[in-house]
């Protein structure tokens, strides 16, 4: 009988050790931070797109969040005649971002997309956006344009490609035409090209379908980046232990003692 109790006592102790050890096992955080800059053409034909961008950013953000991304958004306009490249807002949440889309103009003509993208990365000599990127966030740049890049003064496709890769920035384009250089830049930097006309719609269902697909692709690109770059600070995740409540340990110990006494 004593041997049976001894075996039970040892078994319970083993279980208790495992449970208590599990109270401090590190757990990955599972959340990937990403800083998303939307670089938007302010030429005359973009008015409806500006409105739809503001109206759909909530859906876009909710899909990213549901997929495990902690996203914040900044907005840059380019092509406006009064100031060809300008920062409308530093990084904010989706709701605040939506309000700033109302400040986009649609009266520009020159569209220096290469320079505007470099501006978003604080690499334009003439002026700087000064965006407050988080050190542990994946950089995501999204360009919306209905013309090929023109009137650039500092960057071309090749030099921008080098800058994007140096900055480890993902690059997507939503284009109103088959602009080969911009599409190639996206393909070279972890991104895709999308049809701007699918955003230029008054059909709510069509807009929802486009934004949902776009967000799902953007989510997957960001996760794929972390698979390929696990040592990036944005992708390493958290390693702090997640302790079980101390009371749970005491309860397990009490049950063990009661079992031994029986």
Predicted pLDDT of residue 14: 46
Q: Report mean pLDDT in 10-residue bins for the chain, 262 residues.
A: 50 43 42 97 93 98 97 96 89 98 90 97 95 98 96 96 98 97 98 97 97 98 96 72 38 43 43
Predicted pLDDT of residue 7: 55
Residue 25 lies in a domain: no
Cβ partners under 8 Å of residue 113, min gap 6? 39, 41, 78, 143, 145, 148, 149, 152, 182
Residue 9 lies in a domain: no
pTM to 2 decimal places: 0.80
Predicted pLDDT of residue 108: 75
For residue 44, give its domain range: 32-228
Residue 79 lies in a domain: yes
CB 63 within 8 A of CB 209: no
CB 101 within 8 A of CB 197: no
Mode of pairing for the β-strands spanning 169-175 and 138-145? parallel
Residue 164 lies in a domain: yes
Q: Which helix (H) or strand (E) holds 76?
A: strand 69-78
Cβ partners under 8 Å of residue 222, min gap 6? 32, 34, 64, 69, 138, 140, 170
Q: Tokens for 187?
A: 């393909």
CATH number at residue 42: 3.40.50.410
Sign of the CA dihedral running 191, 195, 201, 204: negative
Residue 64 lies in a domain: yes
Name the domain count of the chain. Answer: 1
List the beta bridge partners of residue 140.
36, 170
Residue 17 lies in a domain: no
Residue at token pair 């090749």: 158
Q: Tokens for 14?
A: 């083993």
């Amino acid at each position: 009988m004593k041997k049976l109790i001894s075996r039970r006592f040892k078994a319970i102790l083993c279980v208790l050790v495992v449970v208590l050890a599990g109270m401090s096992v590190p757990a990955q955080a599972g959340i990937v931070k990403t800083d998303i800059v939307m670089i938007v053409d302010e030429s005359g034909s973009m008015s409806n797109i500006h409105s739809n961008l503001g109206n759909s950013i909530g859906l876009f953000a909710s899909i990213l969040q549901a997929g495990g991304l902690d996203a914040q958004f900044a907005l840059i306009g380019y092509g406006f005649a009064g100031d060809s490249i300008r920062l409308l807002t530093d990084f904010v949440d989706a709701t605040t971002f939506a309000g700033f889309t109302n400040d986009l103009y649609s009266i520009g003509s020159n569209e220096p997309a290469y320079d505007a993208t470099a501006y978003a990365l604080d690499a334009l000599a003439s002026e700087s956006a000064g965006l407050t990127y988080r050190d542990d966030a994946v950089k995501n740049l999204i360009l919306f344009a209905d013309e090929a890049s023109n009137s650039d003064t500092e960057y071309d496709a090749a030099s921008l490609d080098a800058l994007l890769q140096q900055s480890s920035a993902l690059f997507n384009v939503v284009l109103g035409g088959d602009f080969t250089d911009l599409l190639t830049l996206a393909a070279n930097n972890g991104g895709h090209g999308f049809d701007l006309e699918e955003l230029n719609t008054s059909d709510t269902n069509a807009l929802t379908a486009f934004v949902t697909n776009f967000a799902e692709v953007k989510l997957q690109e960001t996760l794929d980046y972390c698979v390929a770059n696990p040592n990036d600070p944005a992708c390493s995740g958290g390693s702090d232990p997640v302790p079980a409540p101390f009371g749970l340990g005491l309860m397990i110990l009490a049950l063990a003692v009661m079992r031994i006494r029986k």
